[in-house]
A = this chain, B = another copy of it.
Amino acid sequence: MDKYAKRRAKLASWLESKGIAAAMFEDTEGRRDPSIRYLSGQPGDAVLFVTAKGRSVLVPWDENMAARYASVDRIVPYGAYGRQASKAIEAMAVDEGLAHGSLVELPSATPYPVFVDYAAEVENLDFTCRSDGADEFVLGLRAVKDEAEVELYRRAAAITDEVADEIERMVREGRARTEADVALFIERACRERGCEGTGFDTLAAGPGRSFGIHAFPNYTAAPFATEGLSILDFGLKLDGYTTDVTMTFACGKLDPKRERMVELVERAYAEAVAMCRPGTATRDIALRVDGIFDGAGMKMPHALGHGVGLEAHEAPWVRSREDNLWKLAPGHVVTMEPGLYDPEAGGVRLENDVLITENGFEVLTKSRIVRL
């Protein structure tokens, strides 16, 4: 049984226990879901069914791609169903011998009008579609990295650090002068080192643009790491799994406001990381950081962190919202990324990826605030 079949077996037991005959996963433009890759190896652009009996049926957009990457019981070309998901669902149910009226779980991202259409068009099945259903169960599996995944993260982190170190050298030696210089170096360097690419659009913002949480456009031909605060947020994707780090380059003698922002972020980061251990509520960590910033009359306009994996942002969530009930557990890999932003002073953010271990934590990446 390969790793995909093992993962599907866990899902199948869960489905069985919930009285669900099959669950559907969908990865299409506008509704990406890397759980398809987690459960089948198929990189994307497909519909996947997993039944409570443990059977898997993949309906890919690109058959050649599926033949090369997918490890499932059956591959059925999308064209066979007139490119209509409702027909694919109906046919899957017949081919897999699902009883009339069986319950099928749809992806939680299924748009309301699409759900209504499925319900009207598919007569042989009942549907459920919940925010805490089968895909949420798989997100829970994904949140806890197994040994092989942790090993992959160590390799991805080492490459990320190597690239970050080289960027610091390039900046110090005047070999990288613009946002594009830095971002394009990352794009090339990661591929030369065996990565699939970057895990998300690199954000490189020089002092004139670092006021934005996520710079727009994400990088330009503007100067980087000149006088003031510059932010570099990037991640490298290795075999599907992405790192996510942010460095700030603080250049020149900072005025008191910028100096204060840098110190606050460094302090918040240190306190947040130190709280990481199994059992800790991530909300408590986020509230601690909020408190540090509140005490200085400042406010962080985004969440403190998030899990990383096949998606750059995934469970577990690290935020101060009341509905965040996540507790850290061994195998979680989360970012800690306090940041402060000011329309005039610019922004500062520090972010690393933290593995939760049996007894505490291990910071996988070595991103930092660089003073120039």
A interface with B by C-beta (< 8 Å): 29-32, 43-45, 61-65, 67, 69, 79, 82-83, 106, 108-115, 117, 129-131, 180, 183-184, 187-188, 191-192, 196-197, 201, 211-214, 216-221, 299, 301-302, 313, 321-322, 341-343
Q: Which residues of B contact A183 (CB under 8 A)?
A: 187
User: How far is it, in angstroms, between the C-alpha of A114 and the C-alpha of B342 when the chains are bound?
Assistant: 33
Question: Does A301 contact B187, Cβ atoms closer than 8 Å?
Answer: no
Inter-chain contact A180/B191, CB cutoff 8 Å: yes
- In the complex, chain B residues whose CB is within 8 Å of the CB of A117: 131
Contacts of A322 in B (CB 8 A): 82
| Chain A binding surface SS class | loop
Asked whether B343 lies within 8 Å of A64 as measured between CB atoms, the reply is yes
Residues of B close to A112: CB separation below 8 A: 106, 108, 110-112, 114-115, 129
Q: Which residues on B sit within 8 Å (CB–CB) of A196?
A: 217, 220
Contact B82 A212 (CB under 8 A): no
Cα–Cα, bound, A322→B83 (Å): 10
Pairwise interchain contact A302-B191, C-beta atoms closer than 8 A? no
Return chain B residues, CB-CB under 8 Å to A110: 111-112
- Cα–Cα distance between A66 and B211 once the two chains are bound (Å): 12
Which chain B residues lie closer than 8 Å to A32 at the CB level?
30
Contacts of A313 in B (CB 8 A): 29
Smallest Cβ-Cβ distance to A131: which chain B residue: B113
Measured CB to CB, the closest approach of chain B to A86, in angstroms, equals 12
A sample of 10 cross-chain residue pairs with beta-carbon separation below 8 angstroms, ordered by A number, consists of A29-B313, A30-B109, A43-B216, A79-B299, A114-B131, A180-B188, A184-B184, A196-B220, A197-B201, A197-B218
